[in-house]
Chains A and B, each alone.
Chain A
Amino acid sequence: MAEGVSDSDLSGGEESREEVTMTPAELIARLEQAWLNEKFSPELMENKSELVECVMEQLTHMEENLQRVRKGDVKASVHRMEIDRIRFVLSSYLRSRLQKIERFFPHVLEKEKSRADGDPSFLSPEEFAFAKEFLANTEVYLRNVALKHMPPNLQSIDMLKAVPEPCLDSFVFLRVKERQENILVEPETDEQREYVVDLDKGSQHLMRYRTIAPLVASGAVQLI
């Protein structure tokens, strides 16, 4: 991990319910896991605002440390590379999320609106605002360009019906972090039968996202 980073542990954001102490290395590992899961999952994953905040703080620390290193020192190049790498992973992670928010906007908004108070949120407050603006903007556009020219009974569109939902039956690659037993594999054709598999720790599999979705959320498996 980067030399010169003075903080050996980073707490979560002010609103964290538990004190989460992580080394910078653990933080970046968590970021990379979240990034890969988001990249390979067909649906929007749980919101991880605290992680994003911590990574941003980490990047700021690293930039500050870089200023203190003597110019031309080889260390500077290594630090610079590392900063760029982390920033790339973070940007890519947030881009994946935004793309899914835009692609599935009515469903994402509906899910957030109908969520119970204790349930984890899928959108950060800023992503929620962005999604609402996207919906409003798109509705105005479609109304002015297409709908207002139609006969009166066709002038509205139910976005929830018009925009496809994420395909949870997509196949995904995964690596098992915590052993799972009796995972039900569902048949596709009439000739096939359902059966159960055990997922050994460290093994890799290719299966339907829908089957293992809760395991991704809990961290028991990692999408790869």
Chain B
Amino acid sequence: GKDRGKERADTIHQIQAQLPAEKPALHLRLPVCDSLGSCAVPHQVHAASRALSTGVIKPSLSLSFHSYDRLLRIRALRWEYGSVLPTTIRFHMCAEEMEWFNQYKKSLATYMRSIGGEEGLDITQDVKPPKSLYIEVRCLKDHGEFEIDDGTVILLKKNSQHFLPRWKCEQLIRQGVLEHVIS
């Protein structure tokens, strides 16, 4: 695992290096990478808060905004990947973020179930306007048997190609099991 202690110390140094001598700093640039990288958020906040508490930084919401920005990206993950996140992404999230994600997806599920008063509607589907009824897809991994509307069963074997109803494939395309072949 990562050496969190070293990471924390490095972060503190990077922050302290920005503090001007004898003057209040109005802005603090947090040493983070743009993508949802390793979860150093709590450490950076901790380090930055030490700078805050020594009174050399004017109170600002920039730290919370940074955390909030990560939250917006985590929110986007639910819509992109579905309710089960890939392990690589989970690795980059801290416990509090996981907790937020779990609460968010529960809330979203409750809301979607309530739509229209009967079984609800999964609004994370149907993301694009329907263009064609059937699409050509290639199978990227073995997925076993797959039943389509009229009872026919298709065997989704890696590298096999099929002409299938578009609405049936959406989920599998997003999960990376099928690939839409555009000839």
Q: Which residues of A contact B (CB under 8 A)?
A: 52-53, 55-57, 60, 71, 77, 80-81, 84-85, 87-88, 90-92, 94-95, 98, 102, 126-127, 129-130, 133-134, 137-138, 140-142, 144-147, 149-151, 153-154, 157, 162
B111 in the interface (beta carbon within 8 A): yes
Residues of chain B within 8 A of A130, CB atoms compared = 107-108, 110-111
| Interface range, B side | 35 or more
Q: What is the CA–CA distance of A116 and B106 in the complex, to the nearest angstrom?
A: 31
At the interface, yes or no: B49 with Cβ under 8 Å from chain A? yes
Whether the Cβ atoms of B117 and A56 lie closer than 8 Å is: yes
B123 A94 Cβ-Cβ under 8 A: yes
Beta-carbon contact of B118 and A149 below 8 Å? no
Choose among A71, A98, A137, A149 the residue that contacts B123 (Cβ–Cβ < 8 A).
A98
CB distance from B110 to the nearest CB of A (A): 7
Given contacts A149-B46, A154-B52, contact A129 B64 (CB under 8 A): no
Partner of A134 from B42, B49, B107, B166 at Cβ < 8 Å: B107
Question: Given A56-B115, A57-B116, A145-B42, are A84 and B130 also a contact pair (CB < 8 Å)?
Answer: yes
Q: How far is the CB of A137 from chain B (nearest CB, A)?
A: 4
Known: A80-B133, A154-B59. A145 touches B108 (CB 8 A): no
Give CA–CA (A178, B118) in the complex, Å: 36
Task: Say yes or no: is B3 at the interface (Cβ < 8 Å to chain A).
Answer: no
If over half of B's interface residues share one DSSP class (helix, strand or loop), that class is named, otherwise mixed; here it is: helix
9 new A-B contacts, CB < 8 A, other than A60-B118, A88-B129, are A52-B116, A56-B121, A71-B150, A94-B123, A98-B111, A127-B111, A145-B94, A146-B45, A154-B52
A147, closest chain B residue (CB):
B64
Of the candidate stretches B7-15, B17-25, B67-75, B139-147, the one touching chain A is B67-75
The distance in angstroms between the C-alpha atoms of A77 and B130, with both chains bound, is: 12
Which stretch (B82-90, B97-105, B154-162) binds chain A?
B97-105
> How far apart are B170's CB and chain A's nearest CB, in angstroms?
10
